[in-house]
Amino acid sequence: MIPVSEALDRLFDLATPLGTECVPLADAAGRVLAESVIARRLQPPFAASAMDGYALRRAEIATGARFRVIGEAPAGRAFTGTVGPGEAVRIFTGAPLPEGADFVVIQEDTARDGEVMTITEADLHNDNIRPAGGDFGPGDRIEAPRLLSPGDVALAAAMNVPELVVARRPSVALLATGDELVMPGEDPRPDQIIASNSFGLKAMIEAAGAEARMLPIARDTEASLRAALELAAGADLIVTIGGASVGDHDLVAPVAGALGMERAFYKVAMRPGKPLMAGRLNGSAMVGLPGNPVSAMVCGHIFILPLLRAMLGLGRAPAPRKTAVLGIDVDANGPREHYMRAVLADGVVTPFERQDSALLGILSRANALLVRPVADGPRKAGEAVEILPI
């Protein structure tokens, strides 16, 4: 068994760069920016009114002061004249500030009677003007690499950049193994169960910006497993599920080995997830997940997601952790790092009593993993601990 951090390092070594592609802005959110975006314009391109009101000269503002309204400036149509002494232009949010004006009085502080506007309350705190270039200017950048948020996409649009260069999505082949498995919706025999892991992992992998392809379930024979692994050829990452342990029907390691898998590691000091393996098979990275449903999903959080982020160019970093306050006393931990299914509420983390790695009901109710380091002593409620939001 090797420590989780060492397994992760060896896994990152399997990540090869994916190359890039160009996508329209409308499809860019959630992708990883591969080339920095460079603004092509000034924003705002002119000094603009931030409010609906009247543009005029600051020096003339006083309660009761009267102005002649000489024109209108809606957004998208500039007033082309100049505002002189005693004059104001009716202006709307987003419109260019007319020549001669250096202040916008909001309409709530005015009264209007025909062509005459009177200031009912002089408030000089805010000129209500957005300066030209106050947001960004030509050459300003959104730096790559970066997971594009909806806000980033809006910024790139405002920068007048219609297409972005992003990392290609990693392709992941998901291969469930086991004679006991049938697909959801099928009619299982009394000694069979429903294959659930590939569905949870597909959801997790696709949320991370990769493409997951579910292969047909491989049966517990060398021929079936070999045939399924051949179908996975060409994937950036092959993820097998189950058949990783030491039983007579656990064939993933021997079959992958016979097909030429170069092993990076097998067995990690973690709980759940001990029989995890990884390596390289015919140019693809390969991870063999344990079959227990919670083990597979926890290994997904701890290994698959960081690996995908590394492949996407986001760097070699473990799943981000946070600190929380322990809600109950917990016993000492053993020789494997323990990821306990837990509920995090208002900064307090409370692990479930039952931690069997077959319990998907508990995983579904959990929103965090409480991380217990190797050989950690007993901990009391109220102590600070590390957690991983899931």
Ligand X SMILES: Nc1nc2c(c(=O)[nH]1)N[C@H]1C(S)=C(S)[C@@H](COP(=O)(O)OP(=O)(O)OC[C@H]3O[C@@H](n4cnc5c(N)ncnc54)[C@H](O)[C@@H]3O)O[C@H]1N2
By the criterion CB under 6 A, which residues form the site for ligand MOO? 271-274, 290, 292, 295, 357
| Residue listed under structure tokens 């950690």 | 376
Cβ proximity to ligand MOO, 244 vs 311, nearer residue: 244
Asked whether the beta carbons of 32 and 312 are under 8 A apart, the reply is yes
Beta strands 66-73 and 348-351: pairing type? unpaired
Cross-strand pairs, 326: 349
Coil, strand or helix: which one is 7? helix
Beta-bridge partner residues of 171: 211
Phi, psi at 244, each rounded to 5°: -100, -15
Q: Contact 372/337 with Cβ under 8 angstroms?
A: yes
Residue 333: which residues within 8 A CB-CB, separation 6 or more? Answer: 372, 373, 374, 375, 376
Q: Which of 224, 245, 355, 367 binds ligand X (CB under 6 A)?
A: 245
User: Site mask, ligand X, residues 348-367, x = CB under 6 A?
Assistant: ---------x----------
**Is residue 197 near ligand X by the rule CB under 6 A?**
yes
In the shown chain, the binding pattern of residues 314 to 353 toward ligand X, with x for contact by CB under 6 A and - for none, equals ----------------------------------------
* CA-based nearest residue to 147, from 10, 298, 311: 311
Residue nearer to ligand MOO on the CB measure, 59 or 246: 246
Considering only residues 272, 279, 327, 351, which one is a binding residue for ligand X as defined by CB under 6 A?
272
Residue 360, both tokens: 């998907």
Q: Which of helix, strand or coil describes residue 81?
A: coil
Closest listed residue to residue 249, CA positions, set 226, 273, 219: 219
Single residue of 124, 193, 203, 223 touching ligand X by CB under 6 A: 193
Nearest to 304, CA basis, from 161, 200, 164: 200
Token pair of 166 as six digits: 């992003």
Calpha distance 233→269 (Å, rounded)? 30
Least distance (Å) from ligand X to the CB of residue 5? 20
What does 9 interact with, of ligand MOO, ligand X, none (CB < 5 to 8 A by kind)? Answer: none
242 near ligand X (CB under 6 A) = yes
Kindly tell me which residue out of 44, 98, 209, 275 binds ligand X, with binding defined by CB under 6 A: 275
Assess 313 for contact with ligand X (CB under 6 A).
no
Q: Smallest distance from the beta carbon of 155 to ligand MOO, in angstroms?
A: 43
Q: Which two three-digit tokens encode residue 369?
A: 């993993």
Q: Give the shortest CB-290-to-ligand MOO separation in angstroms.
A: 4
Return the structure tokens found at 341: 């299914």
- Nearest-approach distance from CB 336 to ligand MOO, in angstroms: 8
Which residue's Cβ lies closest to ligand MOO? Answer: 295
- Choose among 131, 109, 170: nearest CA to 311: 170
Contact region with ligand X (CB under 6 A), list: 70-78, 192-200, 298-306, 365-373: 192-200
- Selected range binding ligand X among 64-72, 94-102, 111-119, 240-248, rule: CB under 6 A: 240-248
Site mask, ligand X, residues 120-159, x = CB under 6 A? ----------------------------------------
Residues in contact with ligand X by CB under 6 A are: 176, 178, 180-181, 193, 195-198, 241-247, 250, 272, 274-275, 290-293, 295, 357
